[in-house]
Amino acid sequence: MELAELIGLRPVPCGGLLVALTRRCPMSCAHCSTGSSPTAAGAPDPARLLGFIGSFGPQDRPEVVMLTGGEPLLLPELAARAARLARARGSRVALLSGMFFARGGRVPDRIMRTVTALDHFSASLDVHHEREVPRADVLRALRAVLDAGVPASIHLTGSGPDDPYLAEAVADVHRAFGPGMPMLVNEVRPVGRGTGLARATPAGPDGTSVTPCALAAWPVVTFDGTVAACCNQWTVDRRPVPPHLRLGHIAEDDWQTVRARSLGSPVLRMLRAVGPQRMHARYGTGPAPAGYCRSCHALADRPEVLAGAARDAGGRVGAVLDRLSTDQQLAAGPAALVRRMGCARYAHLVESTGERKPAAADPPAGAHPAADAREAAPPAAVASLTAEERSRR
């Protein structure tokens, strides 16, 4: 499974499931949206999580399961079990790692066993991660992943489209792998520890435009087992979850129940089709709060907006609206989604444009000779960020 296919599925309601395996992370990067750290508490109960994944049916399952964190590879055995179980049910499995294990360019045996159970592996790369794991080591470890036959990509984060770090890192990746290494390029958002690092966010839509929310498409198993309809960090962390964004809990509900709630919710259908600010403009009696995601959370206190959504997006009409919006976003392609939600200047990189360079083209400048896959002690001290794990506004 390549990155473009993974991102391309993002607007599909219940086309994927995001699973936060743990809030812990052996690094403490300054931009972390989840506030992860070596001692951070929070993780779904493993038995209940595996039971939830085991409830997938051959004709009723997410197309892809994305394992995230914190750092999911702090629990390599659980990640591997979850991956094998999901794949046995017909889902494909991807994992995003902050690469804490990659010092020296090695992929320890315990990590490689998990990686080879996946359909896609993504590595986070940014200036904050590089303070703890050098870029050359990350790229060398990625070469080992590719050599093991697992498709891979890089989730690259910078301060904005003009950040020279992004240009330098992209050039370095292309030197190492050629244009065949896909990259999802994002910008630091003002969430979690990144609040003080992110630049001021421009004003969002004025409410008259249609701005579909792809973040409300995939259910999210959060750190306490609650299943949320949205991966915005406010939603993941807030308790209680706003009622219109709560789909259940893995201790009580199976995948079929969660999927039915997501697909059948008039509010979620409208969010996926037109976005929260358009909903306020159409049905509200007062102005929407500033900010895209804030206006979504505010729906819990706007009964007239919820009633309008129920009236217009219930039944077959709402199902058709949901499908048409999804079809339009699928037709636009993954790069269009990244232009809207990630770093627009680099959106094209989500799709590989050629063959990857063979291993002989490595190492990149400054890298040392290849290391084998021996066990490596993790460093003393972020959870990687994705567009799906950050606030859009």
3-state secondary structure 199-239: CCCCCCCCCCCCCCCHHHCCCEECCCCEEECCCCHHHHHCC
Q: What is the dihedral of CA 171, 176, 180, 181, to 10 degrees?
A: -80
Domain membership flag for residue 255:
no
- Which pLDDT value is given to residue 164? 96
Residues 202-228 have a mean pLDDT of 82
- Per-residue pLDDT tens digits for 242-299: 999 999 999 999 999 999 999 999 999 999 999 999 999 999 998 888 888 999 999 9
Domain membership flag for residue 254:
no
Asked if residues 334 and 351 have their Cβ atoms less than 8 Å apart, the reply is: yes
Query: Domain range spanning residue 199?
Result: 3-212+334-389
Domain membership flag for residue 218:
no
On the question of pLDDT at 388 being above 90, the answer is no
CATH label of the domain that carries residue 78: 3.20.20.70
Domain membership flag for residue 203:
yes
Asked if residues 99 and 84 have their Cβ atoms less than 8 Å apart, the reply is: no
Domain membership flag for residue 198:
yes
- Per-residue pLDDT tens digits for 2-13: 999 999 999 999
pLDDT class for 210, splitting at 50, 70, 90? confident
- Which pLDDT value is given to residue 365? 40
How far apart are alpha carbons 192 and 200 in whole angstroms?
15
Asked if residues 143 and 112 have their Cβ atoms less than 8 Å apart, the reply is: no
On the question of pLDDT at 87 being above 60, the answer is yes
- How many helices (H) and strands (E) would you count in the chain? 15, 9
- Which pLDDT value is given to residue 288? 84
pLDDT class for 360, splitting at 50, 70, 90? low
Q: What total number of domains does the chain contain?
A: 1
Domain membership flag for residue 232:
no
- Which pLDDT value is given to residue 370? 34
Q: What is the overall mean pLDDT for the chain?
A: 86
Query: Tokens standing for 210?
Result: 């249609």
Domain membership flag for residue 234:
no
Domain membership flag for residue 256:
no
pLDDT class for 28, splitting at 50, 70, 90? confident
- Which pLDDT value is given to residue 289? 85
Beta bridge partners, 20, equal 68
- Which pLDDT value is given to residue 389? 36
pTM of the model: 0.86
- The strand pair at 226-228 and 220-221 is best described as antiparallel
Query: At 357, is the secondary structure helix, strand, or coil?
Result: coil
On the question of pLDDT at 126 being above 80, the answer is yes
More confident residue, 320 or 288: 320
Residues 121-135 have a mean pLDDT of 93
Q: Which amino acid is at 18?
A: L
More confident residue, 114 or 389: 114
